[in-house]
Amino acid sequence: MFRKLVLGTAFLAFAVVVFGAFVRLADAGLGCPDWPGCYGHVAVPQSAEARGIAQLKFPDQPLDNSKAWIEMMHRYLAGTLGLLILAIAVYAWRKRADLQQSPVLPLFLAGLVVLQALLGMWTVTLLLKPAVVSLHLLGGMATLALLCWLALLQYAAPQPVNTGKIRELKFWGWFGLLLLTLQIALGGWVSVNYASLACGGFPLCNGSWVPEMDFASGFHFLRELGMTAEGEPLSRPALTAIHWAHRLGALIVFCYLALFAIAVVRTQGLQKYGALLLIILCVQVVLGIGNVMLSLPLALAVAHNAAAALLLIAMVVLNFKINRIRE
């Protein structure tokens, strides 16, 4: 039962991450101006009377029914995920002797869920402040990665492999996971600042390899959405700097993970995992280029975020498998 609960919760975490990207890309993050309800209701106000009362409470934020429902569906999914993680933590603590596993990871996940709930609230109450939204995104990815690791613990057994490359692969695997995490953070920063189309064209950015950029303003984290730290509107060079940095990071991560995947493919017992990583990596690059060339269609943009989550899962699985191998 515990195995099924953990595995099912990991799948739900993936769904929440992808749907969260849809909320952000559909510009529905403030579909409900309050938290945890929506215009003072548990669900989106439907009747004419309820909608009228909602508009009286929030006169500056007109009710958009579709965006409000998108936001509330994400909250319902995230709330269900949080309850399941709390159930995992309680079960892991109470049955720690029977499970013969440390409850530290499930308890840490429960703490992370509480932090995620707070970040979700601040995302709304602080009006999509970029630093808060980015931390919320990274918290979701961290939750997904840790749930995948916990699920793998329920099924894994040591895999003896007669090879001398495992020690090197362990280091390169963890370093690759770190690089991927930084690139996901960069991608999140692009998304929350609405800089996805700041670079026109590919591979050139606005007709140049190195266009005019303002990194100081673009990567100042304590500021309001669309504004500099001084309260001025964020300039085009600042948005270009954000997008260009993500492109450069994508190139570095692609080269590194591609070489890592090829090394894994050549390792006995890990071939299919390396091949899967390489396939997802190539798909992700195609999706990224497609988003630029096709002016960010919603379905393609959500797919790009989903592929980033799949890349994270693939790297977590690979690191888990490599670190279980006996040297």
167 exposure class (CB count in 10 Å sphere: 0-12, 13-18, 19+): exposed
C-alpha distances out from residue 87 to 91, 95, 277, Å: 6, 12, 32
Q: Is-cis flag, bond preceding 203, omega within 30?
A: yes
Q: Which two tokens stand for residue 55?
A: 């508009």
- The two structure tokens encoding residue 269: 């017992």
**Residue 47 burial class via C-beta count within 10 angstroms: exposed 0-12, middle 13-18, buried 19 and up:** exposed
Using alpha carbons, list the distances in angstroms from residue 169 to 198, 256, 289, 299.
Answer: 37, 13, 30, 35
Helix, strand, coil shares of the chain as percentages rounded to 5?
70, 0, 30
- 71 included as an active-site residue: yes
The active-site residue, picked from 49, 71, 232, 327, is 71
Burial of 143 (0-12, 13-18, 19+ CB in 10 A): buried
**Residue among 76, 103, 114 at smallest CA distance from 6:** 103
- At 211 the three-state DSSP class reads coil
Nearest 10 degrees: CA dihedral of 39, 45, 50, 56?
Answer: 30
Enumerate the active-site residues.
71
